Amino acid sequence: MSSPSSPSALDRAVSKAYWRLLPLLFIGYVIAYIDRVNVSFAKLQMQKDLHSLGFTESVLGFGMGIFFIGYLILEIPGTLLVERWSARKWISRILVSWGIVAAMTAFVHYRIPGVTGPLESMLRGLSGLIESFGGDASSLKQDGSVYVFQFWAIRFLLGVAEAGFYPGVIVYLTHWFPHRDRSRALAWFFVGSPIATILGPPVSAWLINIGVKDNPPILGLVGWQWIFIFWGIPAVVLGLIVLVRLTDWPHQALWLSTEEREALQSELDRERAEAGEKGHMTVMQALRNPKVLILAAAYFFVVTGNYGVEFYMPSILKDWYDFDVKQIAWLVIIPPIGSLIGQLVVGWSSDRMNERRWHASLPIVLGAAALACTAIRGNPAWLTVALFLVAMTGLKAYLPAFWTLPSMLMTQSAAAASIGLINSFGNLGGMVGPTMLGVLKENTNSYQLGIWILSTSMVVSASIIFRLGIGRQAARAAKPAVAVEV
Closest CA to 296 of 199, 438, 123, 423: 423
Which residues share a beta bridge with 221? 218
In this model, does residue 247 exceed pLDDT 80? yes
In this model, does residue 291 exceed pLDDT 90? no
In this model, does residue 452 exceed pLDDT 90? yes
196-218 as b/e: b if 16+ CB within 10 A: bbbbbbebbbbbbbbbeeeeeee
pLDDT of residue 140: 58
pLDDT of residue 255: 92
Over residues 187-196, the pLDDT tens digits come to 888 888 888 8
Q: Give the C-alpha separation, 304 to 364, whole Å.
A: 12
146 to 80, 83, 136: CA distances (angstroms):
36, 40, 17
Arithmetic mean of pLDDT, 25-45: 87
Q: Give the C-alpha separation, 155 to 106, whole Å.
A: 11
Arithmetic mean of pLDDT, 297-314: 90
Arithmetic mean of pLDDT, 305-328: 87
Q: What is the mean pLDDT of the chain?
A: 82
pLDDT of residue 369: 96
- Percentage of residues in the chain with pLDDT exceeding 70? 86
Q: Give the C-alpha separation, 154 to 100, whole Å.
A: 11
* pLDDT confidence tier of residue 413, bands split at 50, 70 and 90: low
* pLDDT confidence tier of residue 281, bands split at 50, 70 and 90: low
pLDDT of residue 414: 67
In this model, does residue 96 exceed pLDDT 90? yes
Q: Give the C-alpha separation, 263 to 215, whole Å.
A: 59
Count CB-CB contacts under 10 A for residue 377: 7
In this model, does residue 266 exceed pLDDT 80? yes
**Is residue 306 within 8 Å of 398, Cβ to Cβ?**
no
Arithmetic mean of pLDDT, 468-474: 60
Closest CA to 162 of 82, 74, 241, 85: 74
In this predicted model, which residue has the larger pLDDT, 282 or 159? 159
Arithmetic mean of pLDDT, 443-448: 88
pLDDT of residue 50: 87
In this predicted model, which residue has the larger pLDDT, 13 or 37? 13
Closest CA to 311 of 113, 89, 66: 66
**Is residue 189 within 8 Å of 182, Cβ to Cβ?**
no
347 to 273, 391, 404: CA distances (angstroms):
25, 18, 10
In this model, does residue 304 exceed pLDDT 80? yes
- Range with the lowest mean pLDDT among 93-102, 245-254, 324-333? 324-333
Over residues 372-412, the pLDDT tens digits come to 999 988 889 999 999 999 999 999 899 888 888 877 766 55
* pLDDT confidence tier of residue 479, bands split at 50, 70 and 90: very low
